[in-house]
Amino acid sequence: MDYFAQQLINGLVLGSIYGLIAIGYTMVYGIVGMINFAHGDVFMIGGFIALITFLILISFGLTAIPLILLVVLLVSMAITALYGWTIERIAYRPLRHSFRLAPMLSAIGMSFVLTNYSQVAQGARVKPIPPFITGGYTLHESPDGFVIQLSNIQIMVVVTTIVLLAIFTWLVSSTRLGRDMRACEQDQTMAALLGVNVDRTISMTFVIGAALAAVAGLMYLLYYGLVDFFMGFVAGIKAFTAAVLGGIGSLPGAMLGGLAIGLIETFWSAYFSVEYKDVAAFSILIVVLIFMPTGLLGRPEVEKV
Amino acid sequence: MTAPSTHTAKPATGISALLKTAFVNALIALVLFSLMVGIRTEAGSDGQLTYWTRFGELASLVVAVFGGSIVIELLRQWIGPTGAEKLVPPAVQSGVSLLGRYVAPALLIFTVLVPVIFYNQRYILDLAILVLTYVMLGWGLNVVVGLAGLLDLGYVAFYAVGAYSYGLLATNFGWSFWICLPLAGILAAFWGVLLGFPVLRLRGDYLAIVTLAFGEIIRLVIINWQDLTGGPNGVSGIPRPSFFGIPLDNSDDGLAARLGIEYSATHRIVFLFYLILALALLTNWVTIRLRRLPIGRAWEALREDEVACRALGINTTTTKLTAFATGAMFGGFAGAFFATRQGFISPESFTFQESALVLAIVVLGGMGSQLGVALAALAMIGGFELFRGLENYRMLVFGMSMVLIMIWRPRGLVGHRAPTVYLTKAKAISSDLVKEGHG
């Protein structure tokens, strides 16, 4: 039981990270109708930028951990958002009215560019950082010596995710930008006729998605203590699985799907085999797409001629 | 370099606007590259991260972006806002298509003669074999992507199935290459159908992601099922192919001894060359023949419009499954060849990068054009060889070229993907026949 509870905590933390990435997938798919294959790599770039900012701040002699975290968060969100904007501008916008597979192929190319760009720029080796946020709470100690731990970093990941999700939900439901986004999602031509700047709205979608991916990258860095240039690929596919599981186009769905994937992966590793945890995640993707293509909270897609 | 700002008709094309655009681009580049390029991190021997600055590289990149955007902007103004189609005048296009009729036979003759011309150049022979392997893979995938229009990102899975089928059957049971080759094809086709069944209802992007997941699952299973596949260590000691039972080695009953000529290691390379050439041509021939059969027509119809296809009574289930199975079978053949050529296979050869490379060949070649795919394979693998010294940069260039090709010519550099049959001109129907009341 204790083991189960501990895995539940771990799974929720992992799921929060997946959920943050999944929001980027689901928003872009909702508006442009394409799988932003490079989004996993944007997450990786976010992690790298966070790492480098950390290093610089520490070498400047800063010691206040909350201040460092805040600066790192803002810097990595800002720069990664600019990456998202640039990627959309270079690789996707010229293809918006091209044939169906073109944006997907362009996105795959972009994913290669980002992966190898960071390999060339920062080297192939894994980059570890010392743990910044230490300590935690012992929730329960069973007679046989097993303790359920809740570390401060885990609390931070979950709290950050909840706060961001709240801000983001407010953004989509109650601001001008959110209204424009929802309008573009339904009908771009009509939205344009009614004075919505479609290009700008789509750009903002990519910017927000990239900023959230940067947060996920920072959380990943803090939680696992390392980044490497290849981490975006698998994390990206899993986050996409989460977006599909939750119902692509649905924001709460993406978060829910992220949590589900995080929990499934953690429990699979804990009770079955660690080696096959990725196989489990990919199998879920296939099964969900086949039997439940609209996901948990998605709307059924109408087939248009 | 000096754009005459006073004489230009449009106000936005002035030199100040040009410089402003370039300046903004350079500024964006500065922010993008500031941390990723300007700072280099590395883990020291004690596990502690250190960093050093590279402002020189950063500055040169920013300057390159500044200059590059000026050049691109100038080119854009000189060429004008024309599409890619207008870049090539119709006369040249028809000339190219006329030339294209002779390119294929000439290329084929040249390919057949490659071992004769370059007999003593082992490097070129090896490279030619590699190119032909990718030509075959491209042609195989072309059936799925180019003809049937199903975006398959996990094609390498069938390549892996073929390679492991031959590798394991040959090392465990001692079966010969010629028995295993069809078996590898059949097994791969079987897996193709197995993948095909679940994805029948999926379209477009979803299909792509599921095939990608499938390819990754196969790779992960190969890595982790160590009892069968040897895991990350792979399968080694895979027998070399024989000339229909006669080994190509230095022994007394080898081919060289039987023919009474002096043994040379090049014999085997030449044999492998003609083997893959034959396999590739088989793929090409079968594809061309299939295109003329109802099933091939159905593939093309499926690619153009699935809903219309279904409305016309075409069974989309069997159409998709046969496309997957046919493509997978050729992938399996190529895999078996790969295994016998290398003598060693490991999961590292079957990553997503391979799938993307083959897909890029098909897309670059123009999705559906056989000659285009062959030329694209030559360009791609040849390009990779040129960048051999820059191991890390070549995938970067590969990704960039994929994006640029999609922007510049999304229908492929060489080929076209027009259906094999289509109405050449609109049929004029007399207005008497279509008046109200006449149907």
pLDDT of residue A29: 87
Interface predicted TM-score (ipTM): 0.85
Chain B residues with CB under 8 Å of A82 CB are 28, 31-32
pLDDT of residue A208: 92
Decide if A128 and B47 are in contact by the 8 Å CB cutoff. Answer: yes
The full DSSP string for chain A is -HHHHHHHHHHHHHHHHHHHHHHHHHHHHHHH-S--TTHHHHHHHHHHHHHHHHHHHHHTT---HHHHHHHHHHHHHHHHHHHHHHHIIIIIGGGTTS-TTHHHHHHHHHHHHHHHHHHHHH-SS-EE---SS--EEEEEE-TTS-EEEEEHHHHHHHHHHHHHHHHHHHHHHHSHHHHHHHHHHH-HHHHHHTT--HHHHHHHHHHHHHHHHHHHHHHHHHHHSEE-TTHHHHHHHHHHHHHHHH-TT-HHHHHHHHHHHHHHHHHHHHHS-STTHHHHHHHHHHHHHHH-TTTTTPPPPPP--
Decide if B39 and A109 are in contact by the 8 Å CB cutoff. Answer: no
Which of B310, B395, B406 should we substitute to test contact with A (largest number of A Cβ atoms within 10 Å)? B406
Decide if B34 and A105 are in contact by the 8 Å CB cutoff. Answer: no
- Scanning every residue of chain B, which has its alpha carbon at the shortest distance from the alpha carbon of A279? B217
- Alpha-carbon distance of B98 to A275, in angstroms, equals 56
Decide if B402 and A106 are in contact by the 8 Å CB cutoff. Answer: yes
Chain A residues with CB under 8 Å of B151 CB are 101, 104
Chain A residues with CB under 8 Å of B360 CB are 105, 109
Q: What is the pLDDT along chain B (439 residues), one digit of tens a residue?
A: 334 444 434 445 678 888 888 888 899 998 888 888 888 888 777 767 788 888 888 889 899 999 998 888 888 777 765 444 445 556 666 666 666 677 778 888 888 888 888 877 888 888 899 999 999 999 999 999 888 888 888 899 999 999 999 999 888 888 888 888 999 999 999 999 988 887 777 766 788 888 888 888 899 889 988 888 888 888 888 888 777 767 777 676 677 777 767 777 778 888 889 999 999 999 999 998 998 898 988 988 888 888 888 898 988 888 889 999 999 999 999 999 999 888 889 888 898 888 988 988 888 887 777 888 888 888 888 888 877 777 778 888 888 888 888 888 777 666 555 566 666 655 555 555 555 444 4
pLDDT of residue B95: 67
pLDDT of residue B176: 83
User: What is the pTM for the complete model shown?
Assistant: 0.85
A and B: number of Cβ contacts within 8 A? 179
- Scanning every residue of chain B, which has its alpha carbon at the shortest distance from the alpha carbon of A35? B205
Chain A residues with CB under 8 Å of B198 CB are 286, 290
The C-alpha of A94 sits at a distance from chain B's nearest C-alpha, in angstroms, of 6
Decide if B36 and A105 are in contact by the 8 Å CB cutoff. Answer: no
Closest in B39, B43, B360 to A128, CB measured:
B43
- Scanning every residue of chain B, which has its alpha carbon at the shortest distance from the alpha carbon of A104? B205
Decide if A53 and B199 are in contact by the 8 Å CB cutoff. Answer: no
How many CB atoms lie under 10 A from the CB of residue A158?
Answer: 18
Chain B residues with CB under 8 Å of A75 CB are 35
Closest in B210, B396, B407 to A116, CB measured:
B396
Decide if A45 and B220 are in contact by the 8 Å CB cutoff. Answer: no
Q: Taking Cα atoms as reference points, which of A140, A118, A136 lies closest to residue A127?
A: A118
Chain A residues with CB under 8 Å of B410 CB are 95, 98-99, 102
Chain A residues with CB under 8 Å of B216 CB are 237, 278, 282
Decide if A90 and B403 are in contact by the 8 Å CB cutoff. Answer: yes
pLDDT of residue B43: 78
Residues B366-379: tens digit of each pLDDT: 777 788 888 888 88
Which of B199, B205, B416, B417 should we substitute to test contact with A (largest number of A Cβ atoms within 10 Å)? B205
Closest in B41, B43, B206 to A289, CB measured:
B206
The C-alpha of B362 sits at a distance from chain A's nearest C-alpha, in angstroms, of 11
Chain B residues with CB under 8 Å of A275 CB are 220, 223-224
Residues of chain A where predicted confidence (pLDDT) is lower than 70 = 299-305
Decide if B216 and A110 are in contact by the 8 Å CB cutoff. Answer: no
Chain A residues with CB under 8 Å of B224 CB are 275-276, 279
Buried b (16+ CB within 10 A) or exposed e, B234-255: bbeebbebbeeeebbbeeeebb
The C-alpha of B153 sits at a distance from chain A's nearest C-alpha, in angstroms, of 10
Decide if A112 and B153 are in contact by the 8 Å CB cutoff. Answer: no
Closest in A113, A122, A240 to B399, CB measured:
A113
Chain B residues with CB under 8 Å of A44 CB are none
Chain B residues with CB under 8 Å of A129 CB are 49
pLDDT of residue B438: 44
